[in-house]
Amino acid sequence: QVQLVESGGGLVQAGGSLRLSCAASGRTSSSAFMAWFRQAPGKEREFVAAIRSSGAMTYYADSAKGRCTISRDNAKNTVYLQMNSLKPEDTAVYYCAAKIGGYTKYDGAYDYWGQGTQVTVSS
């Protein structure tokens, strides 16, 4: 079992930055493949970024490339999502997710989810 708790969301103006954190706990948390997803009102949940358990490989949605950086500190069992140049269309609930195994952007493949943290970007 892996438990995930997100933090760091909030209200920010367009062009601003936020850093989301996801604290993981559980026996396999340090070896889990981790990802961030988001869900805007009235829209389906979508992939944002992912990182291998070692941190050696990262993956990004096109909308996140160049503006977001995913990283992890396995000593702290924490995954981060640094978001810069935020836009109003980035407004969503951001979820941290974990799975055992390799990369996928398909949310149905992730076994563990946090409760989400709200990010609101004002214009």
Per-residue H/E/C for the chain: CCEEEEECCEEEECCCCEEEEEEEECCCHHHCEEEEEEECCCCCCEEEEEECCCCCCEEECCCCCCCEEEEEECCCCEEEEEECCCCHHHCEEEEEEEECCCCCCCHHHCCEECCCEEEEEEC
Q: Is the pLDDT of residue 55 over 90?
A: no
pLDDT at position 88 is 97
| Structure-model confidence comparison of residues 88 and 31, the more confident one | 88
Residues 71-94: pLDDT tens digits? 999 999 999 999 999 999 999 999
**Spatial distance between the Cα atoms of 16 and 85, rounded to a whole number of angstroms:** 5
**Spatial distance between the Cα atoms of 37 and 15, rounded to a whole number of angstroms:** 21
Find where tokens 């490339």 sit: 65
What percent of the chain is modeled with pLDDT above 90? 86
* Cβ 25 vs Cβ 98: under 8 Å: no
Residues 5-18: pLDDT tens digits? 999 999 999 999 99
At residue 26 the predicted structure's pLDDT band, cuts being 50, 70 and 90, is confident
pLDDT at position 1 is 83
